[in-house]
Structure 1
């Protein structure tokens, strides 16, 4: 199972390196990683997606807390969250296919951010499932390049679990 960890750290040189080293020493992979300033000056939030069972994640959490600059570790996998990723995708788009590519991008609420004679660069923001879906749809045109951020996540103050609401809506349809 994949777990999403939200880690607050002191914003100091080498913190990310020590965290990555901890994972490497234990032979664990980080599937997604996003780092940026948090709400408080001098604090950064690291959001990472890590494969493993509950026991492994519990052990990693304990190990993370042993690192000097780590302030808080939260496993937000089962907590209602707002999750987003950003992806730039460069797709072949000839004169004959350009309008179809643009139409598909609009269906995904994506934006065309660059145009050339034979390609389009599209910006997509959303949950990881949306990223996979648009890549599959655009595959037939020929994908030249993809750049993705890691997943970022904040817990929902409302406590509303949108995944639960989506499953309920699907049952009613």
Structure 2
């Protein structure tokens, strides 16, 4: 089972390395990790997706909370959050099938962001399942490259998450 952690950290060099190293040393697999500036200038927010049971999740949260540059760790549940991922995907596209591909991507609200002689680059956002489905529908056309950001998420209400604060 996958879990999503929102980790607020000081925006300093090597913080990402320390967080990922801690998880790796304890044999926690990182399914995805996204890092970016938060609502405060000197803080960054890491969204980490990791697997395991509740006990594992609690252990990961406690270990992260012990790191000096970690300000807070929140567990985000799918039912109380908004999750998104960005995907860029380049598919083989002869001019005669471009309208067909456009018909596939339109319901996914994906857009064409680059056109080559024999390929299209598409941009899509949504949850993992939506992007996985779009990828599978495009596979018969020939997928040349895929880049995905990993999950980013925010709780709908702050009081609906469990919170560990480090002072």
Query: Runs of 5+ in structure 2 lacking a partner?
Result: 161-167
Q: What does residue 62 of structure 1 align with? A: 62
Shift of 1:158: 9.5
Alpha-carbon RMSD: 1.6
Q: Aligned partners of 1:136 and 1:123: how far apart in 2?
A: 15
Shift of 1:145: 0.1
- DSSP-derived class of the 1:97 partner: helix
Change (3 A) 1:23 1:136: same
- DSSP-derived class of the 1:39 partner: coil
Q: What does residue 167 of structure 1 align with? A: none
Q: Aligned partners of 1:68 and 1:122: how far apart in 2?
A: 40
Of Structure 1 and Structure 2, the greater strand share is in 2
- DSSP-derived class of the 2:27 partner: coil
Shift of 1:159: 8.6
Shift of 1:149: 0.1
Q: What does residue 131 of structure 1 align with? A: 131
TM-score of the superposition, structure 1-length normalised? 0.89
Q: What does residue 5 of structure 2 align with? A: 5
Query: Runs of 5+ in structure 1 lacking a partner?
Result: 161-173
Could you list the per-position Cα deviations for residues 21-42 of structure 1 after superposition, in whole angstroms to 9, with x for gaps in the alignment? Answer: 1011111110011000000110
Q: Aligned partners of 2:42 and 2:111: how far apart in 1?
A: 33
Q: What does residue 169 of structure 1 align with? A: none
Q: Aligned partners of 1:90 and 1:38: how far apart in 2?
A: 30
Shift of 1:96: 2.0
Q: What does residue 91 of structure 1 align with? A: 91
Q: What does residue 164 of structure 2 align with? A: none
Q: Aligned partners of 1:69 and 1:158: how far apart in 2?
A: 21
For these two proteins, the number of residue pairs brought into alignment is 160
